[in-house]
Structure 1
């Protein structure tokens, strides 16, 4: 009996806020293991990663990456297990990480360098390779270490601090002797950021509905000003941070989720960039593969020894992916958003 591979395709491009009708669930046959060509590997995906960058890929406009093609499997990171192999580099049972997309099985040409990586799950759980010891963790590491580069005693502020990227940033900043202040949505998330992740403070942006209020909260929790800011959100939060920024402060621009649905996100006081001689640098972590081994070594060691904490929100089954993704864009997730496929 032929096995079925469930896949989710991008059926249409959203105008404004996306909905479940932009996606389509289809069934295809799983490739026959006996019919694999030389170099091919068949992987059963265990977890699918959902990430904010996917919202940008759904659009057809110019960006740092090609748009997600219509009526093709949605792009996405995956971890899973090799179930059939005609590659000398992979054997059945190997745990692997790749870009398998929103589907249960993926057929990979393993002769292409980098499309599939073996991972060791002895001390690091498989799912963590999509979060703290994967792309989100490396994203946080790069923005903090290579752009913000905090010195001991400096203050680093992180937006979306309870998420997979932000949570890593604050903990890595603390490990370097900096003061870490998070911004997150809701009392539960702020409590988690301080009590479990070890940040020095966390501000609930839902309690501060305008720039003046949020800036006052930042002043209270950052009495010596802000030296580094890891930006995931944009909009009012960036405006408030800039009002508290010190001279020669550094901003790592990772995401601007406030504008993902096409909303305008103007800066209210761009002159502060000049007045404070601020360095503001955007980055895409996939363009810095040369640092991944260094980053993953530190992240993997910290996770394996219990020194880097993280949390996962797990949706069950591929069909749950669209709703979970839309929830992620609205901040409904708590920590790294995953979909369990097996």
Structure 2
């Protein structure tokens, strides 16, 4: 008989209910081809009851149960949560020292980082929390633009939906694609989303100071994205030399004029992919990429997926049906 793999889910005060429920459902409903369950799921914590932001939750097992786990999953906690209890952090460190697989969902990465278990590793979390994670834990190599990262023993995922991707990835690693695909079907979830896929977020550039000389230039750029804009033309619009314009632009926005222009064009393309049925050639022209080939290459470089895949995920069926791409 196959050995049952124990999955312990660490429940702390102000745990995010969805983050907690996802591994319970996914691992708890997984079945092998002969119908047997390969996982035993246990909810563990330092207190017999924890508060979420909406209700209280009973915790059947203490943190000592982490010592018997093969995998420990750390869900995210809400902004109201205080520091993780010392006994929980110590239990995570002990688990790591035994070689236990550790995984976090969304901002659960902060708990792993607090325990020192992400130092020197690549890690991800929800894109909105990534700058905070990087600032608070400078030894962590934060990657905000992927769905999940598998370092072998330690794994991290982005938002709550990416936590589901991560759980399916672990099942596939443990028991193969067929078992993982069956688990995905039970979750009404596609299996093919890979960890390196982007979170589909193009981060906004920091706002320039109010009254800055760049404000009218940036507005003009946004209005002329479909044109073949050059650094010389943008600098002239701002009444500066190219060198002065580039220096002030970086000082006030944190990036170069051409990189800012690329991001603006990608944002425009995202909007068109989401809200229109325009073909790729038309969108490439409207966003100023010049050619469909250049559009596909640069869009994928920034967003992490193809325009067609992005449209498939985010185009509303209530809008105009997308044209062939």
TM (normalized to structure 1)?
A: 0.28
Larger helix proportion of the pair? 2
Larger Rg: 2
TM (normalized to structure 2)?
A: 0.29
Larger strand proportion of the pair? 1
